[in-house]
Structure 1
Amino acid sequence: MGFDAGELTTLLDGRWKHVRDQVREALADVDLAPADDLDTESHRAHTLEQLRQLAKTGIPALGFPAAHGGSGDTGGSVVSLEMLPGNLSLMVKSGVQWGLFGGAVVALGTERHHERYLPDIMSLELPGCFAMTETGHGSDVQNLRTTATYDPEAQEFVVHTPHEAARKEYIGNAARDGRMAVVFAQLITGGESHGVHALLVPIRDRAGNPLPGVQITDCGRKAGLNGVDNGRIVFDQVRVPREALLNRYGDVAPDGTYSSPIASKGKRFFTMLGTLIRGRVSVAGTAGSATKLALEIALRYGDARRQFGRPGTEDEVVVLDYLAHQRKLLPALAKTFALHFAQEELVASLHDVPGDERAQRELESRAAGLKAITTWHATSTIQTCREACGGAGYLAENQLAQLKADTDVFTTFEGDNTVLLQLVAKGLLTNYKDQFEDLGTLGMAKFLADQFVGAVVERTAARSLVQRIIDGSGKDDILDRGWQLKMFDDRERHVLDGLGRRLRKANRSNAFEVFNNAQDHVLRAGRVHVDRLVLEAFVGAIERCRDRETAALLNKVCDLYVLSTIEEDRGWFLEHERISPRRSKAITEAVNELCRQLRPHAVDLVAAFGIPRQWLTAPIATGAEADRQDAQRAHDRSQR
């Protein structure tokens, strides 16, 4: 089967192809190679200098308002970060400076902040950090303990760390380079707390010295990402002017009167937090890119490395010709394709700005779920790639060890994955509850009789396509797309229905225990929901593919994603009688056959992601291994 590699790359580049091409072109002229072999201080200095080089390309300005020198391209800014998988310290430091610090000023500030600070943030004249996480509170942002108490006589906020658990912890750019921080604190005026708000707090002078009342300590060397200077910050009655409050969602008048366009404290908090999901979306995208890089290294090596002889011949067998090796890498490649298309849809939703509260809630849920699944997939796949490359994969020069170290923390920053999947499930249950409460007595009876089947699935344009495929199927064939979509859809409905029934037992006295006892079910609900979204994104991408042969190949990749996912969760499908033991065996046979069919295209498929060539430096992936093997075979022949 032939296919158009250019067509596939264009499809994968998607809506932001122009940004991907811009980054590829810029990286061809700028040396941004990682410096993981340096000592910590030198590595940090080197990464800061690379950040300055990146700032000069204009790429970091993509996501900032056009009125202040940016391009107003939120989606483009996320995609540009995805293009830095070969230097993850640089990616993370970029994300801190322009995504978190700059993004918070854009999203939570108003024109006075934009005009004063954004040009210097974009140019890196003002390095900053994002001080949210505390020693005692990471995921539970609503209960942060840092305080910002308003003093009406001085018209200043007093920012204070009341105890050690309120210390700002693991803050990127804090230990060495940041001069200002967006600090999240409980806002107090007139003795009343108005919940968590963000303020701009200077932490260093231009010479790099901590300012009075600001205590900064270094988190020290980490398992990876040592080009990023993570630090801890303690504030001792630090005063900032009233105008330092990022006041888009809450403001304080000179006399201390608090006002907000959102009356509810809880709703205001979640609205503020919802504007900051760009960082979470970026982590998912970058984890996906790191996975692609690892797969390209492992697949290129597997396509060159030979081991053991084929009976009746003198040549050794290419490692990737072994089914066991294909089984390690090709289902992971198929899932990487699926997650890529889901990420593209997520970035588009982020860029286009949801039009209502429900759409915003669904965006936040999707961002949480994809971040969790994609970063877990990265951790698992990069380890598999390392093992697939044997001892060569353990050598630093072959990149996999560093990719593994640098991405490991992705599963817990920008939201712990376990907590994020719980957020996804809670969001689904909220939708469930909304529909339940809208029904009258007779409607409720019918609702229960139908087992809440209509409560889970969003009725969007994408769902219309999926529904057409399901309705037009009528086949009971594991390679039929309608059957596959029904399997994922049915599993999600069943799992969520069961969870809803379990949680209905909760009342005011036992709510925590009921929820806690159902956490395994909660996490499964979140995971299978994301599985369905990912499959539907893949189906939508195939529909957009214009070249028939390329679409046919992508259909096989999609089949492999679906069937390997069902195979991995075959226990559930068998227990709930969605498949028979015979069909379970047929699925395994189909996975094997799909691996064999896709094996000749494996390297071309992973190369189609178009990772900038600057990042592919591993000798085992750049032809050196193939040359060595050829030389060895030539030597062997000469000795015979």
Structure 2
Amino acid sequence: MGFDADELATLVDGRWAHVRDRVREELAGIDLPPGDHLDTEDHRALTLEQLHQLAKSGIPALGFPPAYGGSGDTGGSVVSLEMLPGNLSLMVKAGVQWGLFGGAVVALGTERHHERYLRDIMNLELPGCFAMTETGHGSDVQHLRTTATYDPESQEFVVHTPHEAARKEYIGNAARDGRMAVVFAQLITRGESHGVHALVVPIRDESGNTLPGVTITDCGRKAGLNGVDNGRITFDHVRVPREALLNRYGDVAPDGTYSSPIASKGKRFFTMLGTLIRGRVSVAGTAGSATKLALEIALRYGDARRQFGRPGTDEEVVVLDYLVHQRKLLPALAKTFALHFAQEQLVSSLHDVPPGDERAQRELESRAAGLKAVATWHATSTIQTCREACGGAGYLAENQLAQLKADTDVFTTFEGDNTVLLQLVAKGLLTGYKDQFDDLGTLGMAKFLADQFVGSVIEKTATRSLVQRIIDGSGKDDVLDRGWQLTMFDDRERHVLDGLGRRLRKANRDNAFEVFNQAQDHVLRAARVHVDRQVLEAFVAAVERCRDRETAQLLGKLCDLYVLSTIEEDRGWFLEHERITPRRSKAITEAVNELCRQIRPHAVDLVAAFRMPRQWLTAPIATGAEAARQEAQRAHDRAHG
């Protein structure tokens, strides 16, 4: 089977193909090598220098308002960060500067902040930090302990760290380069707390000296991302003017009167946080890009490396011809394609969500949380698999995989711990995105779920008849039926949700926490299978968009491999719940093996369709393999005229 590589590359580039092409073109003229071989200080200095080079390219301005020199292209700004997987310290530092720090000023500030700061943020004249996480509170942002108390006499806010647990922790750009921070703190005025708000707080002067009342310490060397200067910040009654409050969703008048367009404190908090999900979306996309780079290295090496001879011949076998090697890499490649198309849908939703559409915003937040969790876990697992697939060569620093492992490891816990994010997804599923649910505690949640799910059953619909027909069948081709595949994922999701609802019905005022705590494994499974279904639907939609018949067929096989390898991995559930028989389970394994065999000849060309900028592919085991592959093709062409 042949396929149109250009057609696939165009499909993969998607809606923001023009941004991807621009970044490829810009990066072709800028040398941005990673500095992982350097000591910490030199690595940080190099990363800052590279950040200035990136600023000059104009790419970081994509996501900023046109009124201040930007392009207003939120989706394009996320996609541009996805194109930096070969220098993840640079990607993270760029994300902190323009995505988190700049993004917070855009989303939470008003015209006075935009006019004063945005141009300097875009051109890197004002390097900044995003100071949310605290030593004692990471995921639980609503209960941060830093305070910002308004003093009406001086018309200033007093920003203070009341104890060590309130220290701002692991803040990017803080240890060395940042001059200002967006600080999240409990806003207090007239003796009343109005919840977490954000303020812009200077932390260094233009010469780099720490300002009075601000204490900054260095987090030190990390497992990876050592070009990023993470630090800890404490504030000792630091005064900033009233105008430092980023006041889109809450303001304080000169006399100390608080006002907000959103009356509910809980709703206001979640609205503010919802505007800041671009960083979470970017992490999911960059994790995907790092995974693609790792797979390209491993697949190119596997396509050239030979090991052991065929019986009766002197010819050694290419390791990618072994089924066990295909089993390591090709299902991971299929899932990477699936997540890529799901990420494209997510970025489009981020770009298009209408202001003020609360339902669309909640759906976006849920998708972002779920995809970030699944994509970063997939990156961690796949990069490790790629390292193992390359043997000792994969352990060498020059072959990139070890550094990709180290740099992406933290992705599973920053921009939201994955376990907490999946609980957020499950909450959204079970409430049907009810607005009033935001203010409910665990008991309220359990009672609401009881109302939602009492007596619910999975209906015996026509699709269930299809499932039963295929379960009763014997041919492995039946498992390639797309309708059956979609039904399997949908049925699993609905069954798990129903089971979770029944568990939580047991809650009452006295045992609500215990019931919910005991059901957390079920909560996480409900979220995971929901994301699986969304990812599959995105993949199916991409296959349907493909215009070239042979390319669509090959992409369809990748989709089949994603589905069946996912079912195979979770076969215990499908067997326990009688969705498949043991014979059907064996047929699925046979189909996975056959799909690997059929996809194997195209594996390198498939991963090349992502068209990662070439300066990121430096591993000798990949570049040397590609040279050998091209020479073999030339020899073949000469031999056949």
Would the TM-score normalized by the shorter structure come out above 0.5? yes
* Aligned counterparts, 1:2-17, within 5 A: 2-17=2-17
1:511 positional shift: 1.0
- With over 3 angstroms needed to count, the CA separation of the structure-2 counterparts of 1:614 and 1:585, relative to structure 1, is same
Normalised TM-score (structure 2): 0.93
**Could you say if the C-alpha distance between residues 470 and 251 of structure 1 is closer, same or farther in structure 2, counting changes exceeding 3 Å?**
farther
How has the CA–CA distance of structure 1 residues 626 and 121 changed in structure 2, closer, same or farther, with 3 Å as cutoff?
Answer: closer
CA contact (8 A) 1:214 1:234 kept: yes
For 1:337 and 1:247, how far apart are their aligned partners in 2? 41
- Deviates most, 399-408 or 446-455: 446-455
Q: Please report how far the alpha carbon of residue 224 of structure 1 lies from its aligned counterpart in structure 2 after TM superposition.
A: 0.1
Contact 2:266–2:438 (8 Å) recurs in 1: no
SS at structure 2 position matched to 1:623: helix
Of residues 620-629 and 372-381 in structure 1, the stretch that sits farther from structure 2 once superposed is 620-629
Deviations 1:517-554, CA, capped at 9 Å, x for gaps? 00000000000000000000001111111111110000
Instruction: Determine the C-alpha separation between the residues in 2 that align with 1:303 and 1:227.
Output: 33
CA separation of 1:468/1:364 partners in 2, compared to 1, >3 Å: closer, same or farther? farther
Shift in alpha-carbon separation, 1:625–1:366, aligned structure 2, 3 A: closer
Shift of 1:179: 0.1
* Structure 2 contact 267–438 (Cα < 8 Å) conserved: no
1:299-330 deviation line (CA, Å, top 9, x unaligned): 00000000000112211000000000000000
After superposition, the C-alpha distances for 1:468-490 in whole angstroms (9 at most, x for unaligned) are 99999999920000000000000
Q: What is the deviation of 1:465?
A: 17
CA–CA distance in structure 1, aligned partners of residues 186 and 468 of structure 2: 47
Work out whether residues 301 and 389 of structure 1, in 8 Å CA contact, stay in contact via their aligned partners in 2.
yes
Change (3 A) 1:481 1:444: same
Contact 2:450 2:502 in 1 (8 A): no
Listed as ranges, the gaps of 5+ residues in structure 1 are none
Query: 1:3/1:636 Cα in 2 relative to 1: closer, same or farther (>3 Å)?
Result: closer
Answering whether residue 411 of structure 2 is matched by residue 410 of structure 1, we say yes
CA distance in 2, matches of 1:533, 1:465: 21
CA distance in 1, matches of 2:628, 2:437: 65
Are the counterparts in 2 of residues 473 and 483 from structure 1 also a CA contact under 8 Å? no
- 1:93-146 deviation per Cα after TM superposition (whole angstroms, max 9, x unaligned): 000000000000000000000000000000000000000000000000000000
Bigger CA drift: 356-365 or 585-594? 356-365
Q: Is the 8 A contact 1:338 1:561 kept in 2?
A: yes
Q: Tell which deviates more after alignment, 445-454 or 362-371.
A: 445-454
Worse-matched range after superposition: 449-458 or 465-474: 465-474
Change (3 A) 1:632 1:18: closer
> CA 1:441 to 1:638, structure 2 compared with 1: closer, same or farther past 3 Å?
closer
Work out whether residues 462 and 536 of structure 1, in 8 Å CA contact, stay in contact via their aligned partners in 2.
Answer: no
In 2, Cα distance between equivalents of 1:106 and 1:441 = 34
For residues 635 and 81 of structure 1, do their structure 2 counterparts lie closer, same or farther at Cα, with a shift above 3 Å needed? closer
Q: 2-side partners of 1:379 and 1:85: how far apart?
A: 14
Distance in 1 separating the partners of 2:337 and 2:129: 33
Task: For residue 505 of structure 1, report the CA deviation from its aligned partner.
Answer: 1.4
Q: Deviation per CA, 1:606-631, whole angstroms, max 9, x where unpaired?
A: 00001000100000000258659999
Relative distance call for 1:253 and 1:462 in structure 2 (3 A) is: farther
- Return the offset for 1:507: 1.8
Aligned mates of 1:86, 1:472 — CA distance in 2 = 47
Query: Is the CA contact (8 Å cut-off) linking 1:304 and 1:629 kept in structure 2?
Result: no
Q: 1:297 to 1:110 in 2, by over 3 A?
A: same
Query: In 1, are the aligned partners of 2:467 and 2:484 still within 8 Å (CA)?
Result: no
Residue aligning to 2:574: 573
Structure 1, 447-456 or 176-185: larger mean CA deviation? 447-456
Secondary structure class of the residue paired with 1:477 = helix
Report deviation, 1:373.
0.2
Q: Is the 8 A contact 1:245 1:251 kept in 2?
A: yes
Same amino acid, percent of matched pairs: 90
Q: State the alpha-carbon separation in 2 of the partners of residues 583 and 153 from structure 1.
A: 76
Q: Is the 8 A contact 1:470 1:482 kept in 2?
A: no
Aligned 1:16-35 pairs, distance under 5 A: 16-35=16-35
1:201–1:591 distance in 2 versus 1, CA, 3 Å: same
Change (3 A) 1:467 1:254: farther
User: Do the aligned partners of residues 361 and 464 (structure 1) sit closer, same or farther apart at CA in structure 2, a change above 3 Å counting?
Assistant: farther
Report the Cα distance in structure 1 between the residues aligned to 2:559 and 2:8, rounded to whole angstroms.
14
Residues 262 and 268 in structure 1, CA contact (< 8 A), matched pair in contact too:
yes
Change (3 A) 1:520 1:156: same
- SS of 2:48's equivalent? helix
In the alignment, what sits opposite 1:394?
A: 395
| Distance verdict in 2 for CA 1:172–1:550, change over 3 Å | same
Matches within 5 A, 1:38-437: 38-353=38-353, 356-431=357-432
Deviations 1:497-528 (A, max 9, x none): 11011111112221110100000000000000
Distance 1:584 1:219, change over 3 A: same
Q: 1:219 to 1:606 in 2, by over 3 A?
A: same
Distance in 2 (CA, whole Å) between partners of 1:533 and 1:454 is: 26
In structure 2, the gaps of 5 or more residues are: none
TM (normalized to structure 1)? 0.93
CA distance in 2: counterparts of 1:218 and 1:578, whole angstroms: 54
Measured against aligned partners, the alpha-carbon deviations of 1:138-182 in whole angstroms (never above 9, x if no partner) come to 000000000000000000000000000000000000000000000
Contact persistence 1:133–1:168 (CA under 8 A): yes
Cα RMSD between the aligned structures?
A: 4.9
Going from structure 1 to structure 2, the CA distance change for 1:253 and 1:10 (only over 3 Å counts) comes to same
Query: Structure 1 residues 325-334 or 616-625, which shifts more?
Result: 616-625
What is the distance in 1 between the residues matched to 2:610 and 2:556?
A: 17
Give the conservation status (yes or no) of the 8 Å contact 2:181–2:202: yes
CA separation of 1:229/1:7 partners in 2, compared to 1, >3 Å: closer, same or farther?
Answer: same
Cα shift readout 1:433-486 (whole Å, capped 9, x = no counterpart): 799999999999999999959999999999999999999999992000000000
Give distance in 1, aligned partners of 2:441 and 2:64. 48
Aligned partners of 1:638 and 1:556: how far apart in 2? 32
Q: 1:454/1:83 Cα in 2 relative to 1: closer, same or farther (>3 Å)?
A: farther
Map Cα deviations across residues 168-203 of structure 1 (whole Å, 9 max, x no partner): 000000000000000000000000000000000000
**1:473–1:480 Cα contact (<8 Å) kept:** no
Deviation at 1:356, TM superposition (A): 1.9
Could you say if the C-alpha distance between residues 446 and 168 of structure 1 is closer, same or farther in structure 2, counting changes exceeding 3 Å?
Answer: closer
